[in-house]
Structure 1
């Protein structure tokens, strides 16, 4: 097919495009491309020139910096050499000081080792003494354990155990109260014999103490292997204590003869504590029946209160004698006050006499000074003679 410049090749958005138009467009595009390549090449040359100029400037600056760094390095090398010399001197001095200190430390260490050796010997000697004391204590503990075993065998028997509680109670009472203030195994008007009776002052009824605590039920409860048996033993123990409390109330409460409260003695503090912790109902029941359960410490405290009451009663009995003695003491104090007043008068007179004596001695001292100041080598003037011979007025001494 033959193509002409006016031949329509295609239509673009309703506009016919001819071959001439297409060729012109291609030519224009080629021209624009050549212009763009030329402008890009020129721009790249300018940028390359600028980069080369900047590189030259940076190279010059870097060269200058390297020169400066070389100078600084040389200066640093000199300083390092001087510091090396100084460190060498310091190291030598430090070595000398360390040598001296090591010598002193070795000397002190030797002395310390010697002292430590002596202390070790002393400690070992003391340790041997303590071991000997421990051996002695161990022997005493062995003997004590044997005594405990014997005590357990004693407490295994009911009568012997009762005698043990009775003996401990009697020891507490005897240590605190004077003779005549108590009685053991006293027979009451109803024929009963309590373990102890304490006589209260001013005609008050006597206080009864019972030492027969039911230990069998307690031991059964304490040694129970299981809870069921322990509960059964606890129930029996409550019954035993309740019966014993009723017996005390029935036997020992006599109006006008015995006090309305009685003591039931427990010979062990641990049993007393467990009794209050585990059997509070038993303690309360006994208290409602006016029977007080006491341990050795509480019995001791109660006895001390009784002792104070007895002492107060004795003081009241001797009150009139004390008043008479106080009256005589007041008379003696009055006489002493009169005699002290007289003595003060004598001391005042003696003080005045001493002041007069001091006045006379002062005058004598002044006269002696004047005599010592006289010049005996030349005849004195008439005025001086008159001064020496002229008598001075004086106070009369005491007795003149």
Structure 2
């Protein structure tokens, strides 16, 4: 009997995206029930794996012009693959998915990874004319698609309040997908060198420059510290600002790219980090969410310093996983140093609730099975 085909598609994410590939595709492949097709972007051809096939929407730099026609290419791929289930992760692909569903028997799931309207409204890279044009379009597509969507998946708890019109929703947060690992209480020896890390997508609202400026002052008082900045920069202008901010600080290692960096390399950077910096802007598109790197740190037992946020502080305090830092206040650095060397982190050991396999993996398998009955 032929296995049902499933499509997981995005215009924003790479083919080997942590959520689409590692959390969703690898979890579903364990069942040995499905043929999985991941659609995204990649600068080079991805090698197919057992029951997982890759299809690229973009094979070079994404541009606004190319994104105008991405729906046509996506629809052609759907006709070629003939899926029984489509999981769409960005609003741009909803319309072609709905068109395909109207003429073919299949189920449609909208995996809401981002609140696109909040991102457009609050992320400062977007101009007012752009917001004026795109916000009604997003609303029209997301609202108009509702009758055709069989299931919603929400990547954040806060989306339930931000999108009250969403029905039949299951929350699957971006928890750490790896195997359980031993976590022992962590305490730093007096004056030992500290290796800081900033990792992931490097954009303005994630506070990358603020983190670099703060670290520049930190090393004036603690010269043996090091900072590794690794990630994908989405805008050339912002990449130049990062380079200019870091060039005079010899303790900073920049490892940045205009294409997504393989997730394995990001995890390798975590393995050698002592502390992770999370200097996110506290704006409505960010502050109610729980960053995936927070779950990664909790699961791997790596302390982290985060921007002031009541929700995040409750998590760090519960597991002794880190503490708040105002990255705009350079006078707090002596207090931060004192806190780092006098605290014991992760006294309770492993945080199993930070793992995808603790709960979310089985929920996903059940959800997909129910939708394909």
Q: Which has the higher helix share?
A: 1
Structure of higher CA gyration radius: 1
Structure with the higher strand share, 1 or 2 = 2
TM-score, shorter chain, exceeding 0.5 = no
TM-score by length of 2: 0.22
Higher relative contact order (CA 8 A, sep 6+): 2
